[in-house]
Chain A
Amino acid sequence: MLSLTGLGKTYAGGVQALAGFTLDARPGEIVAVIGGSGCGKSTLLRLIGGLDTPTTGTVSINGETVEQPHPLINLIFQEPRLLPWLSVCDNVGFGLAHLPRAEQVLRINEALCRVNLEAYGDRLPKALSGGQAQRVAIARALVTRPEVLLLDEPFSALDALTRETLQQHLLDIWSETQATMILVTHDIDEAVSLAHRVIVMKPWPGRILDEIVIARPHQRGGADFDQARARVRSALNHSLSASAPADIRKGRAQHSSVLETSP
C-alpha cells in the first residue's frame, strides 16, 4: 500500500511545486496523474521515488516512511536513460548486483521476454530504436520486482503506433505482476485507457483538482471510455484555465486547445 499524506514541495527560491497532496493507492491499482505543464506531476514522482525530499508531508509504503530511493519502488523516466556503455542485458540487470549471477541471468531473461526483447540482449543502447530503448528501461525497472512502479510520461516521446503497443505491454505486465502503478501523463486517452483512477491536477501550486474513478474493464472507443474521457477533459480544461496569473493563463489557453484536439 502506497500512502501519500499532505505531500508538498517548495524549491529553493520559494517556488511551490506541490501542496497538500494526499493519496492512497491500493496494491495493484493503476493511478494516472494528469495535468498541464508545471502542475507538479514530475515533482510528485520524484518525491515518491525518493529522489527529492518533501518540504511537508510523508510518503510511505506498507507503513514504512520513504525518505530516499526504496527497493520496492522503481521509476521509469520520460527518456529511457539507458547507460550507453552497458549492453541491453547489463542495463536490465543494473539493479541486481547484490544477487548471485545465476539469479541475475534468470531475472534478466524473464524481464527481456516480458518486453519481447530476448534477442537483443547483447546489443548496445546505440543500436536500439526509441521504442526498444524504452522497453529496455521498463525491463530494467521490472527486474527488481518493485511493488510500486512510477512512470513519468514514459511513452510521450514515441510515435502513436509504438505508444499503443507499449501501453498494451504495460497492461500485460501489470496483469502478471500486479504492481501498483502511478502513471504521470499528458495524454487523456492514455490515462483513461490504462488507469483505474485518474487524478487531475491543478497548478500554482500543484494540487488535486478532481479524481475520476474509471470502471474497468472497458474498451477503448466504447461508451464508458468516451464518458470517462469527457469527464477527464472537462476537469483538465478547468485545471488549465483556473488560478493562473493572467499572462500565464493566456499561454495556457493555447496549450489547452492542443490537448483538446489530441486524439
Chain B
Amino acid sequence: MTIGAAEAGLGAGVGDGRADTAAVSRRASWLRPSAGGWGGALIRFALAVALPLGAFLFWELAVDSGLASGRLVPPPSRILATLADLWTAGQLADHIASTCLRVLLGFLAGAAAGALAGSLTGYFRFVHAAVDPTLQALRAIPSIAWVPLFILWFGIFETSKVVLIATGVFFPVYLGVSTALLSVDRKIVEVGRIFRLSGFDLVRRILFPAVLPAFIVSLRAGLGLGWMFVVAAEFMGASEGLGYLLVDGQQLGKPDQIMAAILIFAVIGKLSDALLVGATAPLIAWQDNFSRGGL
C-alpha cells in the first residue's frame, strides 16, 4: 500500500468514525429536553410511560390468566373500575379537592416561612449563629412525632393538618435558601459593591437572582414533602381526602381503593411538580446548563 493509499484509508477511517459519532449524537438528540417538535416530545413521553404501562399490563395478564389471585394486589382494570365508581358517586372530586387544598395552604405557609427564615439566617451572620442550630435540631425530628402535639394545640380539624404540612415544607425551603445565600459567589457580590449597592438593593439585584435556582429546587423538594405530609395529616382523623381513602380502604379491606388513592397521589404529585417547574422555568432560563448528550 502506498503512503497515499494509507492516508486515504486512514482518512476514510476517520470519516467513518465521525459518521458513527454523528449517528450516536443524532440517535440521542431527541432525548434532550431541548429537542424541539412534537415527534421528540411524543417519543420522550412514550419512553417515560413504557415502564409503568408494561408493569400494569404484565400484572393484568398474570391475574387474568389465573397465575395470580389479585386479591391483595388488584389488577389495573379493577383499580380503574374503583376509580370510575368513586368518580360517578361524586366523592372522588371532593377527596382530591380537599387534599389539594390542604397541600396548597400548607405549601404556601411553609414555603413563605422557610424562605423568610432562610433569608434571615443566610444574610445575617448573627441570626444564623443564633437560630440555625435550633432549626437544624427541629429538622431532625420525624414528622409523625409532631402529630399528637399538633392535635393538642390546634385540634383535630383543618388547622393541625395544614400546620403539619407547612412544617414538612418549611425545612427543605429553609435549608435551600439559607445554604444558597451563604454560598453566593463573592465575586458577583463584589460587582454589586463596586457599583455601591448595599442592603436591600444588593439583595434585590444580586442575591435574590443568584439564589433563585436553588430556591426553586427547594420549593420542589418542599412540595414533594408536602404531598408526603398530607397523608400523615389525613391519618389524624380526616373525614375526606385521599389519605382518608387510604385509611378507609385498609379498615374495610379494599386494596383496590388504596391503590386507586396511591395512583391519584402519583398523578397529582407529578402534575403539581410539573406545574411548578413549568411556571418557574422562564425565571431561570439564563442558566448555562449542562445538557446531557447520549443515552
Which A residues contact B (CB, under 8 angstroms)? 49-51, 68-69, 71, 74-75, 77, 79, 81, 83-86, 94-95, 97, 124-126, 144
List, in ascending order, chain B residues with CB within 8 A of A86's CB. 286
Which B residues contact A (CB, under 8 angstroms)? 187-188, 190-191, 193-196, 205-206, 209-210, 212, 286-288
Closest partner residue, chain A, to B206 (CB atom): A83
- Cα separation A196 to B262 with both chains bound (whole Å): 76
List, in ascending order, chain B residues with CB within 8 A of A51's CB. 190, 193-194
Q: Which of B190, B194, B196, B286 contacts A84 (CB 8 A)?
A: B286
Q: Which of A69, A74, A81, A85 contacts B187 (CB 8 A)?
A: A81
- Cα separation A84 to B210 with both chains bound (whole Å): 9
Closest partner residue, chain A, to B208 (CB atom): A85
Q: Which of B188, B195, B206, B212 contacts A95 (CB 8 A)?
A: B195
List, in ascending order, chain A residues with CB within 8 A of B194's CB. 49-51, 69, 74-75
CB distance from A74 to the nearest CB of B (A): 7
List, in ascending order, chain A residues with CB within 8 A of B193's CB. 50-51, 69
CB distance from A219 to the nearest CB of B (A): 34
Q: Which 6 A-B pairs have the closest CB atoms?
A: A126-B288, A95-B195, A85-B286, A85-B209, A69-B196, A81-B191
- Cα separation A102 to B210 with both chains bound (whole Å): 28
The count of A-to-B residue pairs whose CB atoms sit within 8 angstroms is 46
CB distance from B18 to the nearest CB of A (A): 25
List, in ascending order, chain A residues with CB within 8 A of B212's CB. 85
Given contacts A124-B286, A126-B286, A126-B288, contact A83 B196 (CB under 8 A): no
Q: List 16 other contacts, CB 8 Å, given A84-B287, A94-B191.
A: A50-B194, A51-B194, A68-B196, A69-B193, A69-B195, A71-B196, A75-B194, A79-B187, A81-B187, A81-B188, A81-B190, A81-B191, A83-B191, A85-B212, A94-B195, A126-B286
CB distance from B180 to the nearest CB of A (A): 14
Closest partner residue, chain A, to B285 (CB atom): A124
CB distance from B210 to the nearest CB of A (A): 8
Return 7 A-B CB contacts under 8 Å, by A number: A50-B194, A77-B190, A81-B188, A81-B190, A83-B191, A97-B205, A126-B288
- Cα separation A62 to B35 with both chains bound (whole Å): 57
- Cα separation A209 to B215 with both chains bound (whole Å): 50
- Cα separation A11 to B7 with both chains bound (whole Å): 62
- Best-buried of A50, A85, A124 by chain B (most CB within 10 Å): A85
List, in ascending order, chain B residues with CB within 8 A of A74's CB. 194
List, in ascending order, chain B residues with CB within 8 A of A124's CB. 286
- Cα separation A125 to B187 with both chains bound (whole Å): 16
List, in ascending order, chain A residues with CB within 8 A of B190's CB. 51, 77, 81
List, in ascending order, chain A residues with CB within 8 A of B196's CB. 68-69, 71
- Cα separation A75 to B286 with both chains bound (whole Å): 25
- Cα separation A31 to B278 with both chains bound (whole Å): 52
CB distance from A38 to the nearest CB of B (A): 19
CB distance from A260 to the nearest CB of B (A): 31
List, in ascending order, chain A residues with CB within 8 A of B187's CB. 77, 79, 81
Closest partner residue, chain A, to B191 (CB atom): A81
CB distance from A91 to the nearest CB of B (A): 9
CB distance from B254 to the nearest CB of A (A): 51
- Cα separation A81 to B188 with both chains bound (whole Å): 6
- Cα separation A68 to B209 with both chains bound (whole Å): 24
